[in-house]
Amino acid sequence: ALGLDQVIEPWPLRGRVVAIEDQVETSGSFVLHHLLKRSLSPNSSNVTIFIAFSQPFSHYDRILRKLGCNLVSQRDNSRFFFFDMLKLQCPDGDEGITPEGGLFALYGKIHKTISALPEISWKNVSIIIDDLSLMEVAANGSSDYVLDFLHYCCTLTSEFVR
């Protein structure tokens, strides 16, 4: 349905937003793992930025190893960037942490990561977020901040395609 059965360049999902909805009876995580493996396949020139709210790096690394993909080597080759949102800590002092501030800082890190890539890689960047509901929790329940963040990420990836 997503056109992933063909080995073609560019990545069939380039420029698209794909939402995976799971249910109590069935988790959507297997689709997420499949998309991650496919995006990092040896035939692909994709760079993947993965934002993890629900599981640590070790979880994804174990599962992808079973599927034949080594995330550590992909990370070392600058094809895979992992942002572990489980390790977020509130700053000390009077600053406090605000939903828009946390997501704004995350967006800044993503922008910096993409900017540091060789220009040839800019058009092949995928941003994958493992759990939007937990992103909303991190934003103190503000779906507006989450939607703004998603909009900025879509704009960012289309900006670098040129």
**pLDDT at 22 (0 to 100):** 67
Q: Which of 24-28, 146-150, 155-159 has the highest mean pLDDT?
A: 146-150
* pTM assigned to the model: 0.80
CA distance 131 to 137: 10
* CA dist 136 → 6, 85, 144, 149, 153 (Å): 34, 12, 9, 11, 16
**pLDDT at 92 (0 to 100):** 41
Instruction: Compare 156 and 16 and report the one with higher pLDDT.
Output: 156
**Model confidence pLDDT, tens digit, residues 2-55:** 445 555 555 555 556 666 666 777 777 888 888 888 888 887 788 889 999 889
Residues 106-130: what's their mean pLDDT? 87
Is the Cα dihedral 62, 64, 70, 72 positive or negative?
negative
Hey, what CATH class is 28-88+97-160 in? alpha beta
**pLDDT at 17 (0 to 100):** 63
**pLDDT at 127 (0 to 100):** 87
Residues 135-140: what's their mean pLDDT? 84
CA distance 88 to 126: 22
**Model confidence pLDDT, tens digit, residues 64-103:** 999 999 999 999 999 999 999 887 654 443 444 455 568 8
**Structural domain boundaries of the chain?**
28-88+97-160
